[in-house]
């Protein structure tokens, strides 16, 4: 099939490369000329495991191409994916200006004849967006266009695998033609029997938001429970095991930590709250999810000040991990943005390492680097020399089994604040560390509460 993908971000680039891998003729279009030049040179502008060889192979074999000429790309395609950004507006709602601009381009470049066209919203969009896309296209052409919703469920760090071997494909359609064509398009990816779930368009649009909001809710719920565990001297790891083995609940997304971030959960929770309020539905559950997450991002700064005092002038802290999760360089809404700035604002200097997000950190923390408050280190152990403590913010694999003797020798004080619960508290105590994690050990006042209960 001849396919156009408009937008070459995390979603569009993965979609285009994976569809090309199954033999389709794919054109990825973007107005960012610099990005397109890099892609045509085989350079991937984002870090996503497995994506670079996929793009290189299909570029070499002629199944994928990249262009800034959006009009001709959509004019020649049978199926057009809209995969541009939907950033949150000031009120939290999804900003659809880029989506609707693409719809206008599609309509104004519609040929007078040829096969019927399918336009798919792959971007995460609120319910009702497909109708707006249809209206935008129809302003320019009288030809029949099948507008569909096909939300993505790609995890950053595993996006290629998620697309190639999805646990389900959700497609919202309102015509038999679109159903048949998209069933054919996705057939190579569901050969093991995982379903293509065809449904009405509105349900498909809601499904994406509902999925991300549910996962965000589980994370905030466990962080709330972690706070309770600390207050009474319980261990959130045991609680997680106790509830996660209940088949009605399951173990996924039940890890306590310093909150969620990234390009999806924060934005999508806000957008769903806005939609709920617009339709008169109570959004208090998701209001709580946001409140817990916002507070959780500051937990490690609070722990540091409890140990070292509110004024951190003259203190230096090592930080391992800046991306919002491992296996990605994405720092959007990452807890590190709150933690690093919180430490520097209190007078501390920070030395930080991340295996992939260094270039993003240079952008997000340009002012801190310029002022000398933050130094980015080439190796993780470089952060430790003379530091008053180590903070772990991202659970990258290279951090999971470090040389603890080396860590202790390099730190000025053997203190670790682990925001991702990587290590066993008892083992860390035996190794001579003052070890603070999330929801797994009582704090000073809480121990007295547990003793008197």
Known binding-site positions for NAD(+): 30, 35, 86, 124, 156, 267, 332
Q: DSSP secondary-structure letter at 58?
A: H
Q: How would DSSP label each residue in 240-268?
A: HHHHHTSTTT-STT---SS---SSSHHHH
- Strand-pair partners of 4: 27, 80
Helix, strand or coil, per DSSP, at residue 190 = coil
Annotated binding site for substrate: 153-156, 208, 253-257, 261, 325
Which candidate, 120, 132, 105, places its Cα nearest to that of 181? 120
Q: Which residue has the tokens 């996929």?
A: 54
Q: Is residue 353 within a helix (H) or strand (E), and if so which, with residue range?
A: strand 349-353
Q: DSSP secondary-structure letter at 205?
A: H
> From CA 430, how far away is CA 187, in angstroms rounded?
54
Describe the crossing of helices 444-452 and 201-232 by its angle, rounded to 10 degrees.
Answer: 80
Question: Could you tell me the two tokens for 128?
Answer: 């009702």
Question: Could you tell me the two tokens for 159?
Answer: 């996006």
Annotated binding site: 30, 35, 86, 124, 153-156, 208, 253-257, 261, 267, 325, 332
Distances in Å between the Cα of 338 and the Cα atoms of 9, 75, 308, 393, 429 are: 25, 45, 18, 11, 28
Q: Which residue has the tokens 């336009």?
A: 119
3-state secondary structure 213-244: HHHHHHHHHHHHHHHHHHHHCCCHHHHHHHHH
Helix, strand or coil, per DSSP, at residue 79 = strand
133 within 8 A of 147, measured Cβ to Cβ: yes
Residue 126 — φ and ψ, nearest 5°?
-70, 160
The single residue of 18, 229, 264, 377 carrying the catalytic annotation is 264
Which candidate, 196, 386, 401, 220, places its Cα nearest to that of 295? 220
CA 66 to chain centre: 24
Active site residue 28: no
Return all residues near 307 (Cβ < 8 A) that are at least 6 apart: 389, 415, 434, 436
48 within 8 A of 82, measured Cβ to Cβ: no
| Residues tagged active-site | 264
């Amino acid at each position: 099939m001849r396919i156009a993908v408009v937008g070459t971000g995390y979603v569009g680039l993965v979609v285009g490369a994976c569809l090309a891998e199954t033999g389709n003729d794919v054109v990825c279009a973007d107005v960012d000329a610099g990005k397109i030049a890099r892609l045509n040179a085989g350079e991937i502008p984002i870090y996503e495991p497995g994506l670079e060889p996929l793009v290189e192979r299909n570029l070499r074999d002629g199944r994928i191409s990249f262009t800034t000429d959006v009009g001709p790309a959509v004019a020649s395609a049978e199926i057009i994916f809209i995969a541009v950004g939907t950033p949150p507006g000031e009120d939290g709602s999804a900003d659809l200006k880029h989506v609707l601009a693409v719809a206008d381009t599609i309509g104004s470049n519609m040929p007078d004849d040829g096969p019927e066209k399918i336009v798919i919203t792959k971007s995460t969009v609120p319910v009702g967006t497909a109708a707006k896309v249809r209206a935008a296209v129809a302003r320019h052409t009288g030809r029949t266009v099948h507008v569909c919703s096909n939300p993505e469920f790609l995890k950053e760090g595993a996006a290629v695998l998620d697309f190639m071997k999805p646990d389900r494909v959700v497609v919202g359609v309102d015509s038999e033609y679109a159903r048949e064509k998209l069933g054919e398009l996705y057939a190579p990816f569901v050969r093991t029997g995982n379903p293509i779930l065809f449904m009405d368009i509105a349900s498909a649009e809601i499904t994406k938001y509902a999925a991300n909001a549910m996962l965000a809710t589980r994370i905030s719920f466990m962080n709330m429970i972690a706070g309770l565990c600390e207050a009474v001297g319980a261990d959130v790891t045991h609680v997680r095991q106790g509830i996660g083995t209940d088949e009605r609940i399951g173990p996924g997304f039940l890890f306590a930590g310093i909150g969620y971030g990234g390009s999806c959960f924060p934005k999508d929770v806000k957008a769903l709250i806005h939609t709920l309020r617009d339709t008169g539905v109570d959004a208090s559950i998701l209001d709580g999810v946001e409140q817990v997450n916002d507070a959780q991002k500051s937990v490690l700064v609070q722990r540091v000040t409890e140990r070292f005092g509110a004024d951190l002038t003259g203190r230096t802290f090592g930080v391992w991990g800046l991306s919002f999760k491992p296996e990605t360089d994405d720092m959007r809404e990452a807890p590190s943005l709150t933690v690093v700035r919180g430490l520097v604002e209190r007078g501390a200097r920070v030395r930080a390492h991340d295996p992939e997000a260094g270039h993003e950190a240079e952008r997000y923390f340009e002012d801190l680097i310029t002022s000398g408050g933050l130094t980015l280190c080439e190796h993780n152990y470089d952060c430790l020399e003379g530091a008053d403590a180590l903070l772990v913010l991202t659970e990258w694999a290279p951090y999971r089994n470090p040389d603890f003797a080396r860590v202790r020798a390099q730190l000025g004080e053997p203190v670790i604040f682990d925001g991702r619960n990587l290590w066993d508290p008892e083992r860390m105590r035996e190794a001579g560390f003052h070890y603070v994690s999330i929801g797994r050990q009582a704090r000073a006042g809480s121990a007295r509460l547990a003793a008197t209960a």
